[in-house]
Amino acid sequence: MKYKRILIKFSGEALAGPKGFGLDGEVLARIAQEVKAVYEQGIEVGVVVGGGNFFRGMKAAVDQGMDRSMADYMGMLATVQNSIALQDYFERAGVSTRLQSAIEMKEIAEPFIPRRALRHLEKGRIVIFAAGTGNPFFTTDTAAVLRATQIGAQAIFKATDVDGVYDRDPQKFADAVRFDRLSYLDVLDRGLKVLDSTAITLSMDNKLPIVVFNMEVPGNILRAALGEDVGTVVCEI
């Protein structure tokens, strides 16, 4: 087994399925079963999910002229909605979880406390980290890398709808080339859409590998957790 502890980053859009907005119960149930398969291997799992299926702070600031800080806080609350939904589906699948939020909301989530999160992981619970970093101007990509670093994860998994990182959008260009392995500097220099630049830099500073793979292929999350070649790895080369 390659990894003992990982953090999986899901986009909010992934939870919407083909509808493109809101939540798709079939997608949530499938994700719960996929993550459960990893959990049953004894791998400790943290989860961060975006909120783009409900609200994107930067887009609202640009398109609607909203104050960026207020728009970002709305985006953080969208991640809380998604995190609650994931927690419900994980629990229904028979997986013990804890939900921790960077914004205090004690009725539905614990506050984020690193040592408490580690204790939950050690006790065999999946920990879902909601509300990003709790600060505006930071994406959930950065939140995912930050939480992965804080819990001592061995890798961050970015679950997407493509089978790795390409030199350009494979959905638009048939001749797009997929990379098996990239350095952090390659990603930054080429401007590749893996994670945002802050998240990539934080990963590089902490030597945290990023595994990018297609979550829509059944079993891919488990294969990635077991160290199989299912996508692109961004790491030190």
Task: Give domain status of residue 236, yes or no.
Answer: no
Domain residue limits at 67: 5-231
- DSSP secondary structure string, 127-152? EEEESTTSSTT--HHHHHHHHHHHTT
pLDDT at 113 > cutoff 80:
yes
pLDDT band, residue 128 (cuts 50/70/90): very high
Geometric angle at alpha carbon 42, from 39 and 45, rounded to 5°: 50
Q: What is the pLDDT of residues 28-81, one digit of tens each?
A: 999 999 999 999 999 999 999 999 999 876 777 677 888 999 999 999 999 999
Helix/strand/coil for 88? helix
Q: What is the pLDDT of residues 191-226, one digit of tens each?
A: 998 999 999 999 999 999 999 999 999 999 999 999
**Count of residues for the chain?**
237
pLDDT at 1: 63
pLDDT at 48: 98
In terms of Cα–Cα distance, which of 78, 48, 10, 42 is closest to 220? 10
- What is the end-to-end Cα distance of the chain in Å, rounded? 22
pLDDT at 11 > cutoff 90:
yes
pLDDT at 64: 80
Cα 83 to Cα 64: distance, rounded to the nearest angstrom: 26
Q: What is the pLDDT of residues 15-29, one digit of tens each?
A: 999 888 999 999 999
Cα 31 to Cα 4: distance, rounded to the nearest angstrom: 20
The pTM for the full model equals 0.95
Place of tokens 């830099």: 201
- The pLDDT > 90 percentage for the chain reads 89
In terms of Cα–Cα distance, which of 215, 207, 233 is closest to 38? 215
Task: Give domain status of residue 219, yes or no.
Answer: yes
Structure tokens belonging to residue 195: 């994670």
- Residues with Cβ within 8 Å of 219's Cβ and at least 6 positions away in sequence, in order, are 34, 37
Task: Give domain status of residue 237, yes or no.
Answer: no
Task: Give domain status of residue 142, yes or no.
Answer: yes
101-122 CB burial, b ≥16 within 10 A, e <16: bbbeeeeebbebeeeebbebbe
CATH number at residue 42: 3.40.1160.10
Q: How many domains does the chain have?
A: 1
